[in-house]
Amino acid sequence: MQVVDPRRPLSSFPRAPRTRHQRTIDMDDHLDIIRMQRALELGASVRSLTPPNPWVGCVIETVDGQRFEGATDRVGGPHAEAAALAAARAAGADLEGATAWVTLEPCSHVGRTPPCADALIEAGIARVVAAVVDPDPNVAGTGLARLVEAGVEVTAGVLAAEASEQLAPYLHHRRTGRPWVVLKLAATLDGRTAAPDGTSQWITGPAARADAHALRAESDAIIVGAGTVRADDPSLTVRDAPAPRGDPVRVVLGTAPEGAKVHPCLEREGDLKAILEELGAMGHLQVLVEGGAAVAHAFHQAGLVDRYVIYLAPALFGGDDGRGLFAGPGAPTIAAATRGRIVQVRHLDPDLRIDLDPTPAPRSPLDPPQEP
């Protein structure tokens, strides 16, 4: 079988010659974008449901213009392609010559479910449009290669940047073996997380707190320091957002006091990178670091944060005696300050959510894997 090198530019991906099943009308780039945008919406709708599987969306359109949709189900359930095919078959649709748009390369191996590439071929799909190649070693281009060998026309790279952003935790985990690390911070506009007396509830309003709980629901594990457990006794559960998988695994850096609300939890000490590698080996795709300031500083200084999520409240302590976002020495010069790229700014009345990517230049989804 031909193996597609994931490092190849998407624009050079092979296209199969037309077969008698191929549609006679070319699908232009504009339609590909519209259909892929819908597939991305479908993937986003199951973000909190599917891990450790990726949250993928699929749209299938038949030759006569009927459209069917699918999104990956929870672990053990059908993948997005299988769900869309099932919807089409339930409607009695003729799938010969149809086109499928999918946000991630169809799998080519037998896991908990049969290979999606084979299912598309057997259904008579004539063209597959994929946003990004799956870096999982079990796939890594072989799904698209299998489609090409079967005479299916393949287009890759449509809305690749958007799909890479949506699937960032999954792609990062498959490339490095470590979960995607989100550091969540909440502060006043002058960068204070608590008053001098230690009080901090509540800096942000209900909308921001509900959004933070949705972030918990998306995460597979939450990391917190033992000092925060002793001081605040947090439960670290999901209460203000849907949590179809239940609460994340709770990880305490240090020892949690007996009777603390965080129990049951994992208690770990030592090298943070090693802890992340252990969590990655468990299949966790995303971990949420919630504090406190010393833990935030440790992850920041170690260069282990993949996304900073900062909630800013329209409030000012107006002094330098409140607690800051980080506890520990920072950059010694302005040149040494961590700079990145603001991914999004959202208004969560009355607060703001700012997402910061610490890597200024985004990587291509087909760049070679970085060293762990």
Catalytically active residues, by annotation: 81
Count of C-beta atoms within a 10 Å radius of residue 81: 29
Distance CA(200)–CA(189), nearest Å, equals 14
Residue 127 CB partners (closer than 8 Å, separation 6+): 22, 23, 27, 98, 99, 100, 152, 153, 154, 155
In three-state secondary structure terms, 231 is helix
Count of C-beta atoms within a 10 Å radius of residue 191: 17
Distance CA(317)–CA(325), nearest Å, equals 13
Report cis status (omega within 30 of 0) of the bond before 248.
Answer: no
Sequence length of the chain is 372
The per-residue b/e assignment along 13-39, b for 16 or more CB within 10 angstroms, e otherwise, is: beebeeeebbbeeebeeeebeebbebb
DSSP conformational letter for 207: H
Distance CA(291)–CA(229), nearest Å, equals 9
158 token code pair? 């449509």
Amino acid identity, residue 199? Answer: T
Residue 40: closest CA among 59, 12, 66: 59
Is residue 106 within 8 A of residue 117, CB to CB? The reply is yes
